[in-house]
Chains A and B, each alone.
Chain A
Amino acid sequence: MNTLEIGVAGIGVWSPQWPSWDVAQAALCGKVEAAAEAASRPAPTLLPPAERRRAPEAVLIAVEAAQQACAMALREPRDLAHVFASAYGDLPVNDYLCATLARAPGEISPTRFHNSVHNAAAGYWAIATGCMRSSTAVSAGDSTFGAALLETALIARNEAVLLVVSDVAAVGPLQDVIACRSSFAVAFVLAPVTAHPSSRLRLRLCDGAAPLAQDAALLQANHQGNPAAASLLLLAALARRQATTLLANAGPQLTLEMEISF
C-alpha cells in the first residue's frame, strides 16, 4: 500500500494528570511523576470567558489540546482546516438527553440539544477562532485515533491541518456499555514535510489487526478505556525523540504503521 509522509509541527495534551504537553512530555520521559492532584477541567483562554465557564467538558478538553498544539506550531488557529475525532462524543450530554427523553421529553434544553452534535467541539473551536476552513468531526470506535490520523494526514500532504482526538469519561447508565473512565485529549498540528517540521511520520496501512501495543503498560497506567489514549505510544516516542516504528489500529482488521523520524 502507498505511504504518506507528513510532519508533526505542534502537540497538545490534556488529561486530569497532564494539563499540558510539557507536563506529559516530562512524565513520558520519566522526569516527573504524574501530578498527584488531578485537575478538574481545563479553562482554555482561547474561549470567551462565558464559554469557558459554561461549555461542556468535551468541548473544553478538545479546545485546550488544540490551542496548545497551534501555539507550539506557531500557527494561527483560524488558518487551519481541522479534524476533531471522538469515539463517543459528549457522553454527559447524551446521558442528559436520553434521561430527559425517558422522563419528560418536552423539557429538553435547546442549548444542550445543539451541544449534542458530534461536531460540537469543532463548532465551538471554529466560532472561537474565527476559522472558516474545512471543519470535520469523525469517529471510528476503538480505532478512532488511527483512522482520524489517516484522515488528517491526507489533508496534511498539502497544507498544515489540526487534528484533535478526545473522549470524556462515561457517566450514568452509559457506563454499562462504554468503558471510558477518564478524560483525555490530544492534538497535533500536522504539516507537509516541505515545511521542515522537527519530526516526521511515515504512515502505511497494513492488513490485519495491530498486535497488542509493545508498551502496553503505558496505555494501562492511565486513561484506561479512553480510545484517544491509543495516541500514547506516539506521544512517548515524540517526547523522547526516539526514532521508531509503532502500530495503531485503524480499524478492526486494519493497522496503521507509523515510522517516526527526527
Chain B
Amino acid sequence: MSRIPPLAITAFTATCAAGRGRDALAAALASRTGGLRRNDFNDLSCWIGRVAGIEQAPLQAAWRAWESRNHRLAWLGLHQDGFHEQAQAAIERYGATRVALIVGTSTSSIGETERAYRELDEGHFNAEQRQRRGHAAHALGAFVQQALAVRGPCLTIATACSSSAKVFASAQRLLHAGIADAAIVGGVDTLCGSVLYGFNSLELVSSEPCRPFDVQRSGLSLGEAAGFALLENVSADKSAPRLVGYGESADAHHMSAPHPQGLGAERALRDALERAGLEPHEVDYINLHGTASRQNDEVEAKLIARAFPATTLASSTKGWTGHTLGAAGIVEANIALLALERGLVPGTLNTQTLDPVCGPQIQIDNREGNLRIALSNSFGFGGNNCCLAFAAGVAA
C-alpha cells in the first residue's frame, strides 16, 4: 500500500439531530447536548435522532418530482454553512464537467416507495407516485447533481453504513487520476419504516438512548442526517484540513454481524494509516463507529485497545446523533474535522460505565487539545468497512 497525495477539504457541513450546520453541531458536542428523542416517527418504542423541521420544508415547486424526505434533508444540508455557494464557486473555477459528485446512502428515498405501497390504487402506484423520481438508490446522486448543476462523474455508493465514508476514497482516486479537479462528496439518509422495523427485527434497537461502549449498552438508536464536503488538490488551500488516507475492506464473515476478531476493520485501519504514511502513535483522535450494539462495540473496542497507545483518544458520537446509517460516514468525518479545527475531542454521550474490554483510549468525557491527526471508522452490513484519515492543514 503506497502513500497517496493528500487532498484539501475546502468546505464541509453536516445537518443532523444535534444541529443544522457545523457551529450548531460543535456547540452541541461542547455542551454535551444530545439530539435523541423518544420515537415520534412511528409506533416502535425506541429513541431516534430526528432532524426537526423536515415536514415544514417541502421542495420548491420546480423540484416537485423529486419530493421525498431524503431529498428535503439533502436540500437542507446543502444550504448550511454556505456549502452550496462554495460548491458553485468550485464549479465556476474548474468548470462543471471537471467537478465530480460522489454521494453515499443506505436507503435513499425508499420512504417514498413505502408511502406509494401504502397508497396503492387497485394494486398500482397512484398517479402522483408514478411521477416521482425517487424509487431507486441513485435518486440521491441524481437529485444533488441537478440541485448543484454539476456535470462531472457522478455516482451513488450504497454499502449500508460505510457508504458516505467510501465517497472520500472514490473521490481521491478520481482526482489523483486527473479525471476531475474537484469533488463534492456527501451522504444523506432519512428515517423510514424499512430501517426502523428492519433493525428492530434484528433485535439491534435499544429501548433507551444508545450508550456506546457502556457495559450495559442495549443496542442502537437510529437517526438521520445529511452532510457534504468539497475536495480539491492541496495547492488550492494549504491551510485547509486534509484527507490523507483511506482504507476499505470486507469482513468476509456475515451479512449483519461483524467479524468476531475485527479482522476486516483492522485491515481498513491499517490501509488508511499506510496510505497516509502514519504510525498509530501519531493518531490523536479516532471517531469510532460505536453503534452501541453488543457485538460492534466489543469488537471495535478490542481493536482500538490492541492497535493504539493510550495517548490516542477515541469516542463514539452516536449518543448525539443516533446511527445515521449511510450518512454516518460524512457526519463523523465532519466531527473529526471539527476536532482538528477547534481542538475539541468529544467524549461518548449517555455512557456511564465503560465495558471492561475498552482500553484507555475510549473517552466518556469531552477533552480539549491541539490535534493534528484524526481518524473516522465506519462499518456496514455485508461486512463492509472504511476508515478515513484526516490531518490538520498547514498554518499559513
Contacts and interface: CB of A to CB of B under 8 A. Distances in A.
Contacts of A154: 170, 173-174, 177, 179
Contacts of B250: 122-123, 126, 131-135
Nearest to A106: B197
Interface string B202-237: 110000000000000000000000000000000000
Nearest to B386: A134
A151 B194 contact: no
A119 B159 CA distance: 5
Interface string A144-183: 1001101100110100000000000000011011100000
Identify whether the interface residues of B are mostly helix, strand, loop, or mixed: mixed
B202 A113 contact: yes
A101 B114 contact: yes
B113 A135 contact: no
A221 to B, nearest CB: 25
Contacts of A88: 136-137
B155 A140 contact: yes
A140 B200 CA distance: 30
Interface string A119-137: 1101110110111111111
Contact of B380 (A106, A110, A119): A119
B117 A138 contact: no
Contacts of B169: 134
B49 to A, nearest CB: 20
A123 B248 CA distance: 13
Given A114-B381, A123-B250, A155-B173, A1 B120 contact: no
Interface stretch (A34-42, A228-236, A240-248, A250-258): A250-258
B157 A101 contact: no
Which size bracket describes the interface of B in this complex? 35 or more
Contacts of A205: 97, 153, 179
Interface stretch (A67-75, A92-100, A186-194): A92-100
A173 B151 CA distance: 32
Contacts of A19: none
A116 interface: yes
Given A132-B251, A135-B382, A173-B120, A97 B136 contact: no
Residue in A124, A127, A130, A148 whose Cβ sees the most chain B Cβ within 10 Å = A127
A11 to B, nearest CB: 23
Interface string B71-111: 00000000000000000000000000100000000100010
24 contacts: A94-B110, A97-B110, A101-B197, A102-B118, A108-B197, A110-B256, A113-B194, A114-B381, A117-B158, A117-B382, A119-B158, A123-B255, A133-B249, A135-B383, A139-B137, A139-B155, A141-B138, A144-B138, A150-B153, A154-B179, A176-B124, A207-B97, A251-B151, A253-B151
Given A118-B137, A123-B382, 12 more contacts: A78-B252, A97-B114, A99-B117, A101-B118, A102-B118, A110-B198, A122-B382, A124-B255, A135-B249, A154-B170, A177-B129, A250-B153
Interface of A: 1-2, 4, 78, 81, 86-89, 94, 97-99, 101-102, 105-106, 108-110, 113-120, 122-124, 126-127, 129-141, 144, 147-148, 150-151, 154-155, 157, 173-174, 176-178, 205, 207, 250-254
Q: Which 10 A-B residue pairings sit nearest by Cβ, starting from the closest?
A: A123-B382, A118-B158, A113-B198, A134-B248, A126-B250, A135-B250, A98-B117, A139-B137, A2-B178, A154-B173
